[in-house]
Structure 1
C-alpha cells in the first residue's frame, strides 16, 4: 500500500493534524453574500410597504394586511439570504481529504450556521437604529401603560393653565379649554355684570385681564378636581359665583352649569385616558409580536443556511 494513499492510517492522521476543520474564508464570503442580499431585500420590502400606505383615511392597505405582509417578507428575506450564504460557505470551503462522511456533514452544517451567525451580526450592526426603534417602542409603551395616561393628560392641562396665567393670554390649547370656555357662554340678550361693579377686581385690572385670570383659575380647579376624582362643593360654589358674575345667570343655574360641564370634562378626560392606554397596549403587543416573529424567522434562516451548506459541500466534493 502506498504511504500517500487516502486509506493509509498515517496519512489520515497527518491530514487531520495539519488541515483545519474551519474554512473562515468561505464563512466570511457566505456571510457577506447573505448580509448584502438581506440588506437589499429589507430595503425593497420597506419601499413596497411605504408604497402601500396611504395618508388618506380608508385608502391603502390595512394595518393587519401590512403586518402579515411584513412577517411573510421577513421570512422570505431570511430564507433567501441564509440559503445563499450557506450555499456559498459550503461550496467555497476547503476539500477535506480522508475525513469520514459524517464528519464532513457536520463541518458543512457548522459552516452554514457560522455564515448565518456572522451575517446576522453584520446586518444587526448595519440596522442597529431600526432594531433599537422596535425595542424602544415596546419599552416606552410598557412604561406608558404603567405610568398611566391620565397623569400625562392632567399634567398637560395644568401646564396649559399655568402657562396661561403667566403669559397673560387665554389658555386655548389645553384639554380643558373648551369646557372652561363653555362655562362662560351667555345667552343672547342676557345682561352681563361688570366684575368691577361688585368690587371683586382692582382698579388697574382690565376686563380682559380679569377674564384671563378667572379662566386660568377655573382651569386649575378643574385639573385638581379631575386628579382627585371629585369637584368639592366649595369649589362648585366658587366657580358658580364666577360664572354668575361673568354671564349674568342666577347662582342656582350657574351651579347646575358647573356640575354639568365638569361631568362632561371628566368624561372626556377619562375617554382620552382609555384611548391612550389602548394605544400604548396595542404598541406594546405589536412590538412583542414583531420580536417573536423576528426570532422565528431567524431560526428558520439558521436552519436553511445549515442545510444549504451541506448541499453546497456535496457539490464541492463531486
Structure 2
C-alpha cells in the first residue's frame, strides 16, 4: 500500500524545499540587453558633451586677455578638474539610470538578482562609454594622460639641456663690449662651455675662469671686468636652468596627480552607473514616471 511504502525503512526522504529558482534564458534570449546598454551609453556621452560645452563657456568668462585680470591659471585648472569629475559621475549615473529603465527583465528572478542585473548593465554602460571616449575623442582620457606625459617629458628634457638660442644669447652677452666684434670661434667656444656646464648642473669655477680669459682676450675689458661679466651672465643662466627644473618637477607632479584623479573618477563613475541603473530598474518595476518626482505622494 502507498502508506506503508512511504514509511518503510530505507525509503528516500522527501526533497527539501529550496528558494525560488533563477530563470535562465532560453533560445535567443540573453541576460545582456545590449540595446538598453547602447542607449544609456549614448545618452551619457551626449549629456557629458553638453555639460563640458557649458563648462567651457563658464571657464571663458573666468579668464581675460588683460594682464592681471580674471582668475589665475591655477584656479582655472582646479575648477576645470572639479567640473570634469562632476560631469563624468553625473553623466554615467544618468546613463545607467536610462539603461535600468529600458532593460527588459527575463523570468521571475528574485528582487536581489534583478537589482544585480540592472547594476551590471549600468557597469557595461560605463565600460562602453569609457572605451568610446578613449578611442574616438582626441581630448578623452587617453589624450589627457598622453598630453600630460609628453609635457612632463619635454620640460624634463629642456631642464637638463637649455635651448641653443638661449646659449647663444648668453655667449653674446659675455662678449659684449664697446670694442671690436668678437670672433665666431670665441662665441662658439663660450657657447660650447656653457652648454656642457649647464647640462651638468652649474658652471664650475674652472669654466668661469676659462670663459673670463676668452672674454678678456676678445674684448677691451680688463680681467676683473671680464670676470665680473662672466659671473653675472653665468649666474643668470644657472637661475634660469633651476627654474626650468622646478617647472618640470611641478608638471611631473601635476601629471601624477591628474592620472590618479582620472582613475579615481572613473572608478567612482562605475559605481555611480551601477547604482543609477539599479535605481532605474526599481523605478521601472514600480512603474514610477518622471512626473511623480517632487510630489508628496
Q: CA deviation at 1:132?
A: 5.0
In structure 2, how many angstroms separate the alpha carbons of the residues matched to 1:234 and 1:13? 87
User: Residue 156 in 1 paired to residue 165 in 2?
Assistant: yes
What SS does the corresponding residue of 2:66 show, helix, strand or coil? coil
- Of 185, 205, 218, which residue of structure 1 is paired with 2:178? 185
Listed one character per residue, the Cα deviations across residues 190-239 of structure 1 (whole Å, up to 9, x for unaligned) are xxxxxxxxxxxxxxxxxxxx72xx25333223223322433375664453
Q: How does 1:253-268 map to 2 (within 5 A)?
A: 254-268=222-236
Indicate the SS of the match to 1:96.
coil
Alpha carbons of 1:128 and 1:225: their partners in 2 closer, same or farther (altered >3 Å)? same
Q: For structure 1, which segment, 284-293 or 22-31, has the greater mean C-alpha deviation from structure 2 after superposition?
A: 284-293
Distance 2:23 2:67 in 1: 72
Aligned positions, number: 259
1:60-139 matched pairs, under 5 angstroms: 60-129=70-139, 131-139=141-149
Give unmatched runs, 5+ long, in structure 1: 1-8, 161-173, 187-209, 245-252
Structure 2: gaps (5+ residues): 1-17, 198-202, 287-297
RMSD: 2.7
The structure with more helix, counted as a fraction of residues: 1
Could you tell me how far 1:85 is from its partner in structure 2? 0.6
TM-score (normalizing by structure 2): 0.76
Q: What is the DSSP-based 3-state SS (H/G/I as helix, E as strand, rest coil) of the residue aligned with 2:253? A: helix
Distance in 2 separating the partners of 1:41 and 1:215? 61
Give the aligned partner of residue 219 of structure 1.
187
**1:306 — aligned with what?**
274
Q: Secondary structure at the match of 1:17?
A: coil
TM-superposed CA distance for 1:308, in Å, is 1.1
Determine the structure 2 residue equivalent to 1:248.
none
For 1:224-235, what aligned pairs fall within 5 Å after superposition?
224-226=192-194, 227-228=196-197, 229=203, 230-231=206-207
Q: Does 1:241 align with 2:251?
A: no
Distance of aligned partners of 1:110 and 1:136 in 2 relative to their CA distance in 1, 3 Å threshold: closer
2: CA distance, partners of 1:264 / 1:117: 58
Report what 2:4 is aligned to: none
Q: Using a 3 Å threshold, how does the CA distance of structure 1 residues 177 and 20 change in structure 2: closer, same or farther?
A: same
